Structures are given as structure tokens and as C-alpha cells.
């Protein structure tokens, strides 16, 4: 078949797929009741646009030859921004800020039911508690009114709203809006697996929240964006709710509000230096004269190792972002926010292969004017994705003050130890059962634990500690033990007499 004939043929198939999709989505919409119809229609319209773009795109979405290192001045060192100091009227700048937390995720990967933000991380405080404490401390210290906005998903909305009542007397206004709800599609037929709008019971697997790139459309559609602009708010500070390092930074805020060259940035991305643990993180590049976020999924296979190289791409995106509200409104109204599609394959419990189409919030950087990267200290990136991360933030490596975690001054070197807990520790309740108390880790460099291992009270870990219980064996580290540069293996049972 000639090339022209082949592309005509592909176009016919594309049109047929779009038509079949429209028919199926109309059937789903027809099952909505009068309360659901308006927002279901918006969701399905948004999905239709995404599906249309998905059918147009072929292969990796970046041309590797066009990728360049960003120009020197497009990524500023944090130290330079901090060196400017703060103006006397920083409180009036704070009053123009809104904190947005991405709160769509569940705690399933850590073996917890419900929203991840409700997992206890420190002294019984949850991610959400710490966030509210941080903003309340700001509002009290500067006599300001910085609100908190939570972007929930249909998975987290009900549970989050129930818990919000406990903050009704705190000095933080809390608003919520919901991410879109998109239908998962069958990998073979590319049609939705949902037959109606319901998403409870066995239908929960039919729907998904389409990644945090959905923030622009759903924030705008909720009406909250316009309300906040009307109240005089100018910037949002967006971050993942499980990144405990993502606190409001007054020096970055000052740089946004009072730029040294007089020209305001519409979008600031906090990046930080890669370590070997971060090779998969998205990186900022220069692409067609714009700053552009490139994720590993967009990289042609032949260049993946180059992408992971710490020497060529030295920084990665922390997903701490500062974005001008007026710019979101302008771009959203022009339908001009361009984000690459992430195709996320999943296998459902029954074995059915589906795909979900997603976008990432940082990918929109190329659509904004005068974007900037700021290379921030590693301490602003402290995500809790696993119980290994949880062990670090619960330990004496960090001290807690007004909702913010800072590395203890007693630790002599500022790097975080490498901690790898095995599969017996994956679920939070198993992890908590295996530690009678959190060990002293002030002088720890590296901890690996594998197999059936428990820790008694007041254990101290220093240097490199590797504990491996072989299959069928169990190791109980006794109370008060000091392990310094030790490998422990075999079987060690300590039973009450």
C-alpha cells in the first residue's frame, strides 16, 4: 500500500474508533440522573478530547535530536533567590497565595484503605494534619489568610470531606474540588469497559482519575479559580500531599511577586539534583526554545540510558510548582494548555487489560510565558511513597515544628540514609508491628532489611546495616541493641521466658 493510501486507511480507522467511542459514551451518559448529568457530561467531554489526541499521536512524543540542556539563566540556584532577602511587606504577598495539595491518591500501595493523606506519619499526625498545621502557623505568624485547596478524586472525596470537620476551628480556610472521572478503556477494543455512570461496587474498576495534569481543567470548571481571583489571589503553590518537604517558601514567593527584572514568571518549577535513586524522575530541558518537562515514558527506547544519566541530566522535577492564576484562566479559556499523554496500562483483578490516559501537571510548563526552574535543596523533596520512606520521617533524623519536618542538627551530614525494607514491611500495619519503637538512625548510612525481622525498643543503627532472615527463619533484634556496620543473617529468636 502506498504511504498516502496507508495514512488514509489509518485516518478511516481513527474516525471509526472516535465514532464508536462517542456512541459508547452517549450510552453511559444516558444512564446519569439529573444530579449527575452536568458534571458527567463535562468529564466525558474532557475524556473525548484526550482520546482524540491519543489517536493522533504515534510513538514517543519527543524528537530526541531537539532536546538541549536548558540555558543557564532558565534554572536559578535557590541560594541566589534566598540571597535577595525578604521585603517588609511579605505578608501582603502571602495574602495573594493559595496552597493547593494534590489529594487524589489512595494508600493502597502501603496497604491502607482510603485516602493516602489520612495515613499517620509522625506522632499520630497525618499528611493532612501536617499541611493544615503548616499553613495555620503561617497565617498566625504573619496575620494572613492563605487558604488550602485540596484536589480530591472520586476515590478520596467522601473520606476527606468527613475528616475536614475536625479543622473547622483552625485558622485556615479549606476548599476542595474534584478531579475528573474518566472511563478506563479495553486495551484491545479501545472502548470503555463501563456500561453506566455508577462507580460503586464492581464498577469501581471502570473509572480512574486522569493524573494531576487534570488540575487546570477541573480547577477552572469548579468555579473555584474565578472565586479566588476575585478575592485578589494571584499564585497557587501546588505539590503532592505526600511530599513533606513541600512547605510555603517565602523567598520563592518574593521572587514571583517582586521579580528582579520586573517581569513576572507565570510558572516556576522546583527542581533538585538527581541522585542514583532519582534516575526515573522527569527532567527540565530546552525544546524548541521553551522549557519543557521530559518524562521517562516519552523517551525513545534507544535513549533511555542517556536520559537516566546523572551527568547529562543533573536535575529532576519535585512537582512543587508555583503558577499564576490569571495565566491558568487565560490558557484554559483558549484551550491552549498542551500536555503530553501518558498511557498507563493496568490489569484488572479479573485479568482484563485496560489502559488509562493521563497527563502530568508539570508538563504544561511549555504553555506558560516566562517559565523558570529553581534548583532547590533536597530537603524540599521528602516524599513518602513506601514504608521505607515512612521509617525515615518517623525517626530522630527529623524534628517536627509547626507541621514542618527539618533534618536534625545532630546529624553530621545532610544526606538522607538509603533505607530498603523488604516485602514483610510493605503494609503500614505490618511495618508498625515489626518496630516496637523507631530505631535511633542519626548515624545511619544504609539499611537493608529482608525477610521476617522484628526490632525491639531503643535499637541503634549506625553506618551500614544489612539484616537478612532467610525463608523460614526469623530474626528478632533485641531491645537496646547497637548495630554498627553489621551484617546479620540466619536465625535469631528471642522468646519471653
C-alpha distances (whole Å) from 326 to each of 97, 225, 226, 370, 406 are 13, 9, 9, 14, 33
The Cα–Cα gap between 39 and 29 comes to 10
Comparing CA positions, the residue from 146, 124, 164, 161 lying closest to residue 247 is 146
Q: Residue 466: CB partners within 8 Å, gap ≥ 6?
A: 446, 447, 448, 486, 487, 488
179 appears as a binding residue in the annotation:
yes
With the C-alpha atoms ordered 20, 23, 28, 29, is the resulting torsion angle positive or negative? Answer: positive
211 appears as a binding residue in the annotation:
yes
385 appears as a binding residue in the annotation:
yes
- DSSP E strand stretches across 168-216: 174-178, 182-183, 185-186, 207-208
Comparing CA positions, the residue from 406, 456, 405 lying closest to residue 434 is 456
C-alpha of 18 from chain center: 31
| Annotated catalytic residue, options 173, 385, 427, 486 | 385
Helices vs strands, H then E, count in the chain: 13, 25
The Cα–Cα gap between 332 and 329 comes to 5
242 appears as a binding residue in the annotation:
yes
385 is catalytic: yes
Q: Residue 320: CB partners within 8 Å, gap ≥ 6?
A: 237, 238, 239, 243, 245, 246, 269, 270, 376, 380, 381
Q: Residue 152: CB partners within 8 Å, gap ≥ 6?
A: 103, 104, 115, 160, 161, 176, 177, 178, 179
The Cα–Cα gap between 73 and 70 comes to 8
Beta sheet of 174-178, edge-to-edge order: 75-77, 371-375, 267-273, 315-324, 235-240, 97-103, 148-152, 174-178
C-alpha distances (whole Å) from 120 to each of 116, 358, 429, 437 are 9, 29, 11, 15
C-alpha of 28 from chain center: 30
- Residue ranges at the known binding site for substrate: 212
- Residue ranges at the known binding site: 116, 179, 211-212, 242, 385
- Residue ranges at the known binding site for UTP: 116, 179, 211, 242, 385
Q: Which residues are catalytic?
A: 385
Amino acid at each position: 500500500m502506498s504511504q498516502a493510501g496507508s495514512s488514509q486507511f489509518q485516518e478511516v480507522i481513527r474516525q471509526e474508533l472516535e465514532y464508536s467511542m462517542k456512541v459508547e459514551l452517549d450510552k453511559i451518559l444516558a444512564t446519569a440522573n439529573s444530579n449527575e448529568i452536568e458534571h458527567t457530561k463535562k468529564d466525558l467531554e474532557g475524556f473525548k478530547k484526550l482520546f482524540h489526541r491519543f489517536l493522533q499521536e504515534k510513538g514517543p512524543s519527543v524528537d530526541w535530536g531537539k532536546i538541549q540542556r536548558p540555558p543557564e539563566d532558565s534554572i536559578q540556584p535557590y541560594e541566589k533567590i534566598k540571597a535577595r532577602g525578604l521585603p517588609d511587606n511579605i505578608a501582603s504577598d502571602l495574602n495573594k497565595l493559595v496552597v493547593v495539595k494534590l489529594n487524589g491518591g489512595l494508600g493502597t500501595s502501603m496497604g491502607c484503605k482510603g485516602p493516602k493523606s489520612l495515613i499517620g506519619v509522625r506522632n499520630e499526625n497525618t499528611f493532612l494534619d501536617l499541611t493544615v498545621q503548616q499553613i495555620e502557623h503561617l497565617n498566625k505568624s504573619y496575620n494572613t489568610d492563605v487558604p488550602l485547596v485540596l484536589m480530591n478524586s472520586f476515590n478520596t472525596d467522601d473520606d476527606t470531606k468527613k475528616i475536614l470537620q475536625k479543622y473547622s476551628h483552625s485558622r485556615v480556610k479549606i476548599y476542595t474540588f474534584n478531579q475528573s472521572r474518566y472511563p478506563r478503556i479495553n486495551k484491545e477494543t479501545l472502548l470503555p469497559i463501563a456500561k453506566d455512570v455508577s462507580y460503586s461496587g464492581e464498577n469501581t474498576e471502570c473509572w480512574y482519575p486522569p493524573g494531576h495534569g487534570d488540575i487546570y481543567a477541573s480547577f477552572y470548571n469548579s468555579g473555584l479559580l474565578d472565586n479566588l481571583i476575585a478575592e485578589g489571589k494571584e499564585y497557587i503553590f501546588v505539590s503532592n500531599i505526600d511530599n513533606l518537604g513541600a512547605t510555603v517558601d517565602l523567598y520563592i514567593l518574593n521572587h514571583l511577586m517582586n521579580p528582579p527584572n520586573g517581569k513576572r514568571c507565570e510558572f516556576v518549577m522546583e527542581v533538585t539534583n538527581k541522585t542514583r535513586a532519582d534516575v526515573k524522575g522527569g527532567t527540565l530541558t530546552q525544546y524548541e526554545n521553551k522549557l519543557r518537562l521530559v518524562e521517562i515514558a516519552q523517551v525513545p527506547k534507544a535513549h533511555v540510558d542517556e536520559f537516566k544519566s546523572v551527568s547529562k541530566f543533573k536535575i529532576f522535577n519535585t512537582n512543587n510548582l508555583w503558577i499564576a492564576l490569571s495565566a491558568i484562566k487565560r490558557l484554559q479559556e483558549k484551550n491552549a494548555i498542551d500536555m503530553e499523554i501518558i498511557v498507563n496500562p493496568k490489569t484488572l483483578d479479573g485479568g482484563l487489560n485496560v489502559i488509562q490516559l493521563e497527563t502530568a501537571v508539570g508538563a504544561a510548563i511549555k504553555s506558560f510565558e516566562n517559565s523558570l526552574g529553581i534548583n532547590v535543596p533536597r530537603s524540599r523533596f521528602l516524599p513518602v511513597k513506601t514504608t521505607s520512606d515512612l521509617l525515615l520521617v518517623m525517626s530522630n533524623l527529623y524534628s517536627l515544628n509547626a507541621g514542618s519536618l527539618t533534618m536534625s542538627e545532630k546529624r553530621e551530614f545532610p544526606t538522607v540514609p538509603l533505607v530498603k525494607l523488604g516485602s514483610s514491611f510493605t503494609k503500614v500495619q505490618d511495618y508498625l508491628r515489626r518496630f516496637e519503637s523507631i530505631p535511633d538512625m542519626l548515624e545511619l548510612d544504609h539499611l537493608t532489611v529482608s525477610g521476617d525481622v522484628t526490632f525491639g525498643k531503643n535499637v541503634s543503627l549506625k553506618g551500614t546495616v544489612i539484616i537478612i532472615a532467610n525463608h523460614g527463619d526469623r530474626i528478632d533484634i533485641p531491645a537496646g541493641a547497637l548495630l554498627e556496620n553489621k551484617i546479620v543473617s540466619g536465625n535469631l529468636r528471642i522468646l519471653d521466658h
